[in-house]
Structure 1
């Protein structure tokens, strides 16, 4: 029997290595990677996922050369604007998790416009993690809870996992059932640290620009072989 798959999160790694292995500039790897992103969204819709969360740009990525950061921001605008009609047709709701205040004005405005246009869609929610860091998210949630306690809106004894999750960016959405990482690295890279507690983790050596729909389905097949225990013993 297949496991229930409600939420898939993806660490889209390997664009730069893909380009370098072909003697190309890094930006061409990012450009090629957008094709895999579009394919992944289509697979998610076909799987009837409730959520798909894509690690687009981490809080640490701001430390990359400014030329690359500028290119990534412009590529983001181009992709979002281009894909809005398709998102509407597929009934996909777009949202962004992360510190949007750090995103330059033009890409931030384009993202907000896309969020507003798709706000009433009722199909899969596509969460783009941009200027995102897992530790940052936990710190921000802690500050928010502390402020509620200080204001007398919440008592310390009321704080539990459920309350904490409601102060995270996805506000109580189901945790990822499956986290896919391309590019062969075995680390979370500060991604969904709270939510990944019991996620199944699938790593492939395939670089993100080569991550096809067929590769995605291999990850789903892997997920369906897993016995999900959530810290319990299911069988003696």
Structure 2
């Protein structure tokens, strides 16, 4: 399938979404992989993860890059050789990348009911009070995405979602908020943008996705 959607996060940051409708072989035939990526692909036990990995490479190609333009640092963070900042995420039938002139983190999550049960493990559940069940799922998914996106952006071992990353109160309708990372005696502030990806009933299970991006405040 062609590109599903592009989202302008800012004048210098853009998200690209790919809906994975292809089978593994079709994706594999349409990308070029360096040896290290091929070995990584072959080591994945889940075909879903393999397809997500390949769909990300399809997004590279859509933007004029290929697998040889990408490298990972010692902490596993992706970088492009031309200096453009990149962050990567995939979830079930979607893959996403964000390209930016500034350091940025992205997370894409399917909105599912189990997030409510897990919420006390990673967030202040008082932020979920007085919401419908649907909005509780949506907001908890945003908070999880905030923490994933900041973790990817900061890229340091030892960061705890529950103990070090804190979202400030927000409303779902605002589609933006702020958050803080308290780590190694330093407090860093982040601007957060989030958007629900509306599939317009195309998913049999009815689950939409939540996209979250984090950028460090100036």
Q: Which has the larger radius of gyration?
A: 1
Q: Which has the higher helix share?
A: 1
Normalised to the residue count of structure 2, the TM-score between the two structures is 0.31
Relative contact order, CA 8 A, sep 6+: which one is greater?
1
Q: Which has the higher strand share?
A: 2
